[in-house]
């Protein structure tokens, strides 16, 4: 997985560098064709490339903030849902302890299944490909600690 990600990053870098260099060369050729001096061509080219790079950095930062916000909303939603489900499960488990042993075993098995399915559902709802791996690990550890 990391090798695929690394290869993907290298390809994106090479494509971006090639595109930026091609745009810079095309801009320089255009300015030279317009009989603009070499120094002015250099300054204009540098300013435009800097502006494009700055815009890319800002766009990347905004995208990362958006992803963080979505992850925060997902975690908040799942946390609230978890609290409601846990309160219901706690009530059911307390009722199961007061009844006969066969009923308590059946209820205990059903509760275990519900908790396992909820944990699986939480993982599928919470984690997608855009979330960094360290955030996924931390959230999974939190889910595991809640399941205990």
For residue 22, give its domain range. Answer: 2-147
Task: Name the token pair of 10.
Answer: 């290298």
Total domains present in the chain: 1
**Is 30 strand, coil or helix?**
helix
Give me Rg for the CA atoms of the chain: 28
Nearest to 147 by CA among 126, 120, 125, 128: 120
The pLDDT of residue 136? 62
List of residues 6+ apart from 139 with CB closer than 8 A: 75, 126, 127
Alpha-carbon span 106 to 129, nearest angstrom: 38
The pLDDT of residue 118? 74
Alpha-carbon span 49 to 17, nearest angstrom: 11
Question: The pTM is what?
Answer: 0.50
**How far, CA to CA in Å, does 140 sit from each of 13, 89, 125, 144, 147?**
31, 21, 12, 6, 10
Task: Name the token pair of 8.
Answer: 């993907």
| DSSP codes, 86-99 | HHHHHHHHHHHHHS
Mean pLDDT per 10-residue interval, the chain, length 148 residues: 78 83 83 83 80 85 89 80 75 65 72 75 66 65 60
The pLDDT of residue 127? 65
């Amino acid at each position: 997985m990391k090798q695929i990600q690394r290869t993907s990053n290298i390809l994106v870098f090479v494509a971006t560098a090639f595109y930026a260099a091609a745009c810079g060369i095309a801009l320089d050729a255009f300015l030279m064709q317009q009989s603009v001096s070499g120094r002015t061509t250099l300054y204009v080219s540098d300013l435009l490339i800097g502006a494009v790079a700055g815009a890319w950095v800002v766009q990347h930062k905004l995208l990362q903030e958006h992803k963080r916000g979505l992850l925060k909303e997902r975690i908040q939603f799942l946390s609230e849902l978890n609290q409601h489900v846990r309160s219901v499960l706690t009530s059911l488990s307390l009722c199961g302890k007061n009844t006969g042993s066969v009923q308590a075993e059946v209820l205990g098995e059903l509760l275990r299944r519900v908790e396992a399915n909820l944990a699986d559902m939480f993982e599928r709802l919470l984690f997608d490909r855009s979330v960094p791996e360290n955030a996924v690990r931390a959230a999974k550890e939190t889910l595991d600690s809640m399941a205990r």
